[in-house]
Structure 1
Amino acid sequence: MTAPDQNRTHEKFLWGSATAAYQCEGGWDEDGKGLSNWDVFCHSDDNDVNPVDGDVASDHYHRYEDDIRMMAEGNQNAYRFSISWSRIIPDGTGAVEQRGLDHYRKVIETCHRYGVEPLVTLYHYDLPQPLFENGGWENRETVDAFERYAEVCFDAFGDSVTHWMTVNEPNYETLCEYGIGNYPPNVRDLRRRWHAIYNILLASARAVVRFRSGGHAGQIGLVSDSYPIESLVDDEAHRDAARLADLFFNRCVNDVAIDGTFPVEFLDKIESDGTDMSFIHRDDAAVFLDGTIDYLGLNVYDRILVKPYTTGETNLRANNTGDATSTNQIIVKGWFEHDVDPTTEKNPWGMEIYPQAMYDILVELRDRYPGTPVIITENGVGYRDVVVDGEVHDDYRIDYLRGFVEQMQRAIDDGCDVRGYLVWSTIDLYSWINGYEKRYGLVRVDFDTLARTPKDSYHWYAAHIAAQKEITS
């Protein structure tokens, strides 16, 4: 494998890994931190699939220096993490908590001390509980609160952060919240989903505008989980289903973040489904146009296979247990249905192991949004790792990562402007509603002792990065 073209990307290629605040930090009620929606949900009876919480998680709040040092020792030069909004502004709208600012200042300084570039996500699913109780992302006041929160972070850390991301996965977050119903507020109403996703994207655009008006250095993007949409049959009905699925999963986010407009056919479709479109304000159009991103953060895990909608009501289910008796299902009335390729390998949670998804989505984005650079902000696979003599021999993860990295390189060779690649995840962490059995980390965390042990995949990744440095030196 040849190294990415350093001259074409105009900057060093970022090889690193990623986490998110609620999933790894712990310290859930320390140093003035307010409650988030995930703190409250995980402590409630609604958390009944895998009834555990992130109170301690990986204890990254106290062990961040050890974790960043291990990244550097593994040749990683980039770390994507998220800031907990409720650490900075405990109630989401009121006074700023200096201890929260001090903590993330230390994290950022530690990154620089070890030669690791910090990539900072402002919002990764964890909303301050008072905002959540006031309607969350369905309430336009949350957009106002996010803009202020973003400005506080830009002013506090803008001198030492050059890669910002506004929000993580507007598609997947709202799909779980308002489609599958396994994330708070745990409802199933896609009409409410469209309201929430609109406001999240408006909040992102307003943060981008605020970033630029403040004269901050660096670049600002948004993180999108994007998928190549494919069908097992090539006919008009399947192509139409794929077109609708592309609107449903991809273009409802990416067109807005990159081009500043919602696809007209998407708006027409959700209105015909009975969505109350009054959340759209006339003045928002200019904000979306002014708030387009500098780069797209891309979370790539697999493809989505679809077939034409047949009959029945909308029904979305997720396998959050890794149990063979639990299945993933997507039926969206009047749109499409999820399909399954029986010939491909899946992990226990039903995720297809399909490295070509990386190449296919990068080429698709290259052609649809020319001139927009990409950073792979997440790529990884969850398994129940087994410890043998104190070690984790995760060849399955190495095979997965190698396949996706090779397909990324193939896309770069074919003209895709990719600036970095970050493995999900830096360490084992809380996998949202999946709990702790589904492990993604390059480094194992013993959740009883919190001891860290690099897995075989950590060593493979370190050697891979070293080889790229040798090629470019």
Structure 2
Amino acid sequence: MTRFLWGSATAAYQCEGAWDEDGKGKSSWDVFCHSDLNNVNPVTGDVASDHYHRYEEDIRMMAEGGQNAYRFSIAWSRVVPDGTGDVNEAALEHYSRVVDTCLAHGVEPLVTLYHYDLPQTLFAAGGWENRATIDAFARYATVCFDSLGDRVSHWMTINEPGYETLCSYAIGNYPPNVRDLGRRWHAMYNLMLASASAVTAFREGGYPGRIGLVSDSYPVHTLENTPEFEQAAHFADLFQNRCVNDTAILGAFPAEFMEKIEADGTDMSFIHEGDESVLRSGTIDFLGLNVYDRFLVKPYTTGETDLRANNTGDASGENRVVVKDWFEMDEDPTTEKNPWGMEIYPAAMYEILVELRDRYSNIPVIITENGVGYRDVVENGEIHDSYRIDYLRGFIDEMQRAIGAGCDVQGYLVWSTMDLYSWINGYEKRYGLVHVDFDTLERTPKDSFVWYANHISSQGAQR
């Protein structure tokens, strides 16, 4: 029986720190966090969890907690500091040591090539709206495959093309901090081409292992069962899920999706001859799935497109999604939510897995992120995060129910390994199984770490 992967996950900018060490170039997030635009929670990832220097301690703790898998991302601006030029051998040596440390502890490394942090030189030249970034990414990916491909058997090209572009080009809280859906679709289109190009390079290079993409996907719900609500749900599914999943798995953007964004007035000139063959040849081996909650919608009523996110975890923040002529976000007052307004809805795990099973011929899935953010409190040196245990237990139970229903789920990774920089949310929103004191950088396992270790142990060789 293939070993089921039980582990946890991080991303480079969120945990590494060492933002300007050992030849690393600046990323879009380095520049954003040092700018006046970073005004919601004005902190940086300069040090973060200091994982760059403390990866051995962190991986050892994972192994001591029974985890046999670790998903992390490589910082593109470490490996190719300006995005396109000389390769920084010191960075490759660092990530080689991280991989070797994982393997020495019996921990499978799962490597994400890109997790939001674009080299600043590429960002300044148009970022993902510039087709030159596609070729630069394929070249960078090949550098990583050549360096680590003899030991890494699970690769992921892009983390969340949907959510990144939603924040960058619709909510406007991630760089480049604009609100323009037409630009969102342009950037997402190029991200999907970049992923397909990297997949093709992986296959043409004959590297061992498998390659996938990470998608944040949601079961779409409505509170009423009328034709209008069903239509809103259908549009929301195209907007949130299928624009990425169909493209990565089936090799083409949904025709209805493309027709709808064009009807919205999107300038479709970003589509070039030959793109269809790139997407068809770059379909993925497995889907990395980030699961947090459901997406609750209702029919669009009136007004312009308006998307907002609660990044403060208090009454000053607002979650709002109105997409003109598509749908609006709805609110269920009966469900439990965390301080940032995220619903605690474990059945989302089962529902999205069954949906993907049925839509995509049961493609293999690894749950690459699942977790919940809270303001954890340290009491006498301990962190009693029963709310996180309840959340993880609920979602894991629903995952195992989906496996029982025939879904090909091959791994489960908690977000996150340790507390880290939570993007625009800053450091108060903690997801980690391990507490990090951001003043001393001391690590302390939380109750959830112990619970997860016991759960993994109870599974034995089973799922």
The TM-score normalised by the length of structure 2 is 0.99
2:227 maps to 1:249: no
Distance 1:131 1:324, change over 3 A: same
Superposed CA RMSD in Å reads: 0.7
Alignment of 1:392-407 (within 5 A): 392-407=383-398
Q: Aligned pair 1:26/2:20, yes or no?
A: no
Q: Could you list the per-position Cα deviations for residues 275-321 of structure 1 after superposition, in whole angstroms to 9, with x for gaps in the alignment?
A: 11111112011110110000000000000000000000000000000
Residue equivalent to 1:86: 77
From 250, 265, 272, give the equivalent of 1:259: 250
User: Following TM superposition, where does structure 1 have runs of at least 4 consecutive aligned residues deviating by more than 3 angstroms?
Assistant: none
The CA deviation at 1:327 is: 1.6
Q: Superposed, which structure 2 residues align to 1:35-434 within 5 Å?
A: 35-434=26-425
1:133 and 1:231 map into 2 onto residues whose CA distance is 40
Aligned residues: 463
Per the TM alignment, residue 448 of structure 1 is displaced from its structure 2 partner at its CA by: 0.2
Contact kept in structure 1, 2:4 and 2:461, CA below 8 Å: no
CA distance in 2, matches of 1:279, 1:338: 29
The one-letter code sitting in structure 1 at the alignment partner of 2:367 is I
Take 2:154 and 2:355, find their aligned partners in 1: how far apart are those partners?
Answer: 24
- Give the counterpart of 1:441 among 421, 432, 439: 432
Cα offset, 1:471, TM superposition: 5.6
Greater Cα offset, 316-325 or 454-463? 316-325
Q: For residue 470 of structure 1, report the CA deviation from its aligned partner.
A: 6.5
Is the partner of 1:401 in helix, strand or coil? Answer: helix
Provide structure 1 residue ranges, at least 5 long, that are not aligned to the other structure: 1-6
**Percent identical:** 74
Take 1:188 and 1:118, find their aligned partners in 2: how far apart are those partners? 36
1:250 shift after superposition: 0.3
Amino acid at match of 1:387: V
The superposition leaves residues 196-246 of structure 1 with CA deviations (integer Å, 9 ceiling, x where unpaired) of: 000000000000000000000000000000000010000100000000000
Q: Structure 2: which amino acid aligns with 1:22?
A: Y
Whole-Å Cα distance in 1 between the matches of residues 45 and 51 of structure 2? 11
Shift in Å, 1:425: 0.1
1:324 deviation in Å?
2.1
Distance 1:23 1:95 in 2: 25
Matches within 5 A, 1:4-19: 7=1, 11-19=2-10
* SS in structure 2 at match of 1:92: coil
* Deviations, residues 49-84 of structure 1 (Å, cap 9, x unaligned): 000000000000000000000000000000000000
Q: CA deviation at 1:325?
A: 3.1
Q: CA deviation at 1:134?
A: 0.2
CA-to-partner distance for each residue in 1:368-404, whole Å, 9 max, x for gaps?
0013100000000000000000000000000000000
- Mapped to 2, the partners of 1:259 and 1:286 lie a distance apart of 12
CA contact (8 A) 2:83 2:119 kept: yes
Give distance in 2, aligned partners of 1:148 and 1:232.
Answer: 47
Q: What amino acid does structure 2 have at the position aligned with 1:136?
A: G
Between the aligned partners of 2:255 and 2:57, the Cα distance in structure 1 is: 49
Would the alpha carbon gap of residues 250 and 346 (structure 1) be closer, same or farther in structure 2, given more than 3 Å must change? same
3-state SS of the aligned residue for 1:323?
coil
CA distance in 1, matches of 2:126, 2:136: 13
Counterparts of 1:399 and 1:301, CA distance in 2 = 14
Could you list the runs of 5+ residues in structure 2 that have no partner in the other structure? none
